[in-house]
């Protein structure tokens, strides 16, 4: 359920970079720059993980260390009355329980270059009332609930002498109606004084969709997609992404970053179980073009207002060749209450126009080549606001030395078309 995980990805993204220098979210604004503050590492004691220089090609490597462990859990729930599964009307009730674990390792090679390896695994369990309407004849269809699993493995190498960092990542994702494989390559170059940095990333993702149709539109003998009833078609979808960003430290208090992230998709871009009702009452499945080009442009600014306040702002403009245009503005203000307790109120506003193929129920004409009643790509305004509290005691959380930080965040999302959602996220960092 890609459209549902947008809000989840947004909040987890905000959470994971709340105290970093730059951040972006997966669908709305995604890129990440590591902090360069001094951090102590603790070696892995287990024989399964501790690798000596002898086992790693002679003297080429120093001991592999576990720098950081991050655990994130969240609960997300939404409701609304514009489900695309039932033609733009009907329940959008949905909940998702998400958990992720990432392990960050590092080692230095014989040229004193720092290598970082991150292994992340995330799993969601969700239940969707709207997806259950794909086949309302059954007590519970295959799509009502499912598990979404998505691991990622990434590597980077930083050379302080040349001020260059290179990296790569591989990812996999699966749930009931699709599988995805992807990868990214990255390169960054800093100036000699580290005040300016160029960041370039390229990525590609290759998805396979199960063409699951509403029950009343299935040809004779066509399967439902449920286990044991898989006589269905499969379609491909490929996505290609490029991100170019430039960050600049203006002075001791102000840092800015500009980023442009063009992307291109091809293949099955419509959702085959979304219904569309025409003016004469005829029913069809959603149909959208087989290609889509997107162009987001963003500008970020962080201002350090004394020792207790940081103001982080972001503006993003988006347009694509389907006719959508959007403006996003966000503001986050971390406030240090004590030396180890801080709160972070945040607010995000988005305004977008509809794609040229959108129409509510019973509004499309049979002469149209493409048609959808998915309100996710309609005209609306949305707001996402909330706050978090973070603690980082010098002796560790609850006196546990390596439990570096704990954070609890809450967010509320609402749209002008009536959809509402709430998410609560808890994270723990061990160093």
- Kindly give, in sequence order, each residue whose CB lies less than 8 Å from that of residue 316, ignoring residues fewer than 6 positions away: 28, 29, 296, 297, 298, 299, 326, 327, 328, 329
| DSSP code at position 133 | G
- Spell out the domain ranges in the chain: 2-430
pLDDT band at 23 (very low <50, low <70, confident <90, very high): very low
Q: What is the pLDDT of residue 40?
A: 32
Q: What is the pLDDT of residue 138?
A: 61
Is 90 exceeded by the pLDDT of residue 143?
no
Is 60 exceeded by the pLDDT of residue 48?
no
CA–CA separation, 371 and 208 (whole Å)? 22
- Kindly give, in sequence order, each residue whose CB lies less than 8 Å from that of residue 376, ignoring residues fewer than 6 positions away: 3, 84
Q: How many residues does the chain have?
A: 431
Nearest 5°: CA angle at 372, between 210 and 294?
A: 80
CATH topology of domain 2-430: Porin (2.40.160)
Taking the alpha carbons of 6, 296, 14, 378 in that order, is the dihedral positive or negative? negative
β-partners of residue 206 are 181, 238
Q: What is the pLDDT of residue 82?
A: 96
Q: Which residue has the tokens 């990214």?
A: 184
Is 80 exceeded by the pLDDT of residue 339?
yes
Are 144 and 132 spatial neighbours (Cβ–Cβ below 8 Å)?
A: yes
CA–CA separation, 357 and 364 (whole Å)? 9
At residue 217, φ and ψ (nearest 5 deg) are -110, 10
Taking only the tens place, the pLDDT of each residue in 190-203 is 999 999 999 999 99
Q: What is the pLDDT of residue 426?
A: 98
Tell me the pLDDT of the chain averaged across its residues.
86
Say whether 385 sits in a helix, a strand or coil.
strand
pLDDT band at 43 (very low <50, low <70, confident <90, very high): very low
Say whether 13 sits in a helix, a strand or coil.
helix
CA–CA separation, 92 and 80 (whole Å)? 5
CA–CA separation, 82 and 89 (whole Å)? 4
Minimal CA–CA distance to 36: which of 202, 156, 171?
A: 156
Minimal CA–CA distance to 385: which of 312, 332, 313?
A: 332
């Amino acid at each position: 359920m890609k459209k549902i995980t947008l809000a989840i990805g947004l909040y987890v993204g905000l959470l994971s970079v709340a105290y970093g220098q730059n951040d972006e979210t997966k669908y709305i604004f995604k890129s990440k720059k590591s902090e360069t503050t001094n951090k102590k590492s603790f070696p892995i004691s287990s024989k399964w993980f501790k690798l000596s220089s002898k086992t790693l090609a002679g003297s080429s490597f120093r001991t592999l260390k576990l720098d950081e462990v991050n655990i994130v859990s969240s609960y997300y729930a939404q409701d609304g009355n514009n489900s695309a599964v039932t033609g733009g009307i009907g329940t959008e009730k949905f909940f998702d329980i998400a958990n992720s674990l990432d392990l960050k390792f590092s080692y230095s090679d014989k040229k004193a270059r720092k290598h970082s390896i991150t292994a992340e695994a995330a799993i969601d369990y969700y239940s969707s009332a709207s997806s259950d309407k794909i086949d309302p004849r059954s007590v519970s269809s295959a799509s009502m609930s499912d598990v979404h699993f998505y691991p990622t493995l990434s590597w980077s190498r930083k050379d302080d002498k040349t001020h260059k960092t290179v990296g790569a990542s591989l990812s996999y994702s699966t749930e009931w109606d699709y599988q995805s494989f992807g990868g990214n390559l990255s390169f960054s170059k800093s100036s000699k004084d580290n005040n300016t940095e160029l960041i370039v990333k390229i990525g590609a993702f290759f998805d396979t969709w199960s063409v699951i149709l509403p029950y009343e539109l299935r040809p004779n003998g066509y399967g439902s997609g449920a286990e044991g009833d898989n006589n269905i078609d499969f379609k491909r979808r490929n996505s290609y992404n490029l991100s170019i960003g430039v960050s600049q430290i203006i002075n001791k208090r102000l840092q800015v970053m500009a980023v442009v992230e063009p992307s291109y998709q091809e293949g099955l871009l419509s959702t085959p179980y979304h219904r569309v009702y025409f003016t004469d009452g005829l029913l069809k499945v959603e149909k959208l073009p087989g290609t889509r080009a997107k162009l987001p442009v963003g500008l970020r600014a962080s201002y350090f207002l004394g020792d207790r306040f940081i103001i982080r702002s972001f503006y993003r403009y988006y347009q694509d060749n389907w006719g959508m245009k959007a403006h996003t503005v966000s503001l986050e203000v971390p406030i240090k209450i004590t030396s180890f307790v801080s709160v972070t109120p945040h607010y995000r506003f988005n305004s977008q126009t509809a794609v040229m193929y959108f129409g509510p129920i019973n509004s499309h004409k049979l002469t149209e080549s493409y048609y959808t009643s998915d309100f996710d790509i309609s005209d609306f305004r949305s707001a996402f606001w909330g706050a978090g509290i973070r603690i980082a005691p010098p002796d560790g959380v609850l006196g546990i030395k390596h439990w570096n930080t704990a954070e609890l965040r809450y967010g509320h999302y609402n749209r002008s078309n009536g959809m509402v959602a709430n998410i609560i996220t808890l994270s723990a960092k061990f160093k």
